Amino acid sequence: MPPLHPDQRVAVLADAQNLYHTSHSLYSRNIDYAALLESAVHGRELVRAISYVVRAHSPEEESFFDALQEIGFETKIKEIKTYPDGSQKADWDVGMSLDAVTLANHVDAVVLCTGDGDFTRLCSHLRHEGVRVEVMAFSASTADALVAAADGFVDLSDNTDRYLL
C-alpha cells in the first residue's frame, strides 16, 4: 500500500505479542521486524517506531528486545501480572492507544501492526482527527472491523517470504 505522498510523517506501533502469536500459530515462524518497519515506513519520514513487548522471563527475550532496538524500534516492556487464580495477563491495548492519540498531533499517518479488533475505535478516532491509519497484520487473525476502520490494510500473509523469518 503506497503512501498518499512521500512527505508524510509516520509513526509505527507494533503489538509484538499479537504478531508473535499469530505468526507462530499460522506459520510457526517469527516476524522479520526489519522488513515490517521498512514496509510500514514506505519511504516516508519516520517520527517514532514503538514495539510493545511483554517480559516473559524466557532466555532469548533480552536478545529479541536488543534486536528490536537495533532495527529502530523503541521497546516498551510490560511485566506479566499473575493473579491469585493463577491466570496471567499483560495487555498493551491502553498503552498503545494512548501513544497513538498522543502522537496524532505530530504525524500524518499511524501504522498499527496488529490484528486486534480492540483497536477499531482508536482507528475511528485517529481518522476523525485527520490522521491516516494503516494496519499491517495477518488477515486470518485480523478483525474485519479493524480493517474496515482503517484507511489501508496490508495483509502480511500475502508476502510471507518478506515478513517472516
Residue 129 Cα distances to 69, 79, 122, 150, 153, angstroms: 30, 32, 11, 13, 19
Q: What would the pLDDT profile of 68-89 be if each residue is shown by its tens digit?
A: 999 999 999 988 777 788 776 7
Residue for cell digits 500524518? 108
Rounded Cα gap, residues 16 and 31, in angstroms: 9
pLDDT at 101 over 80: yes
C-alpha cell at 68: 528490536
30 within 8 A of 165, measured Cβ to Cβ: yes
Q: Which long-range contacts (CB under 8 A, 24 or more apart) does 57-61 make?
A: none
- How much is the pLDDT for 54? 87
Quote the radius of gyration of the chain (alpha carbons, Å).
15
C-alpha cell at 98: 494512548
Burial class (CB in 10 A: 0-12, 13-18, 19+), 64: middle
Q: What would the pLDDT profile of 105-120 be if each residue is shown by its tens digit?
A: 999 999 999 999 999 9
Q: What would the pLDDT profile of 145-165 be if each residue is shown by its tens digit?
A: 999 999 999 999 999 999 999
Three-class DSSP category at 12: strand
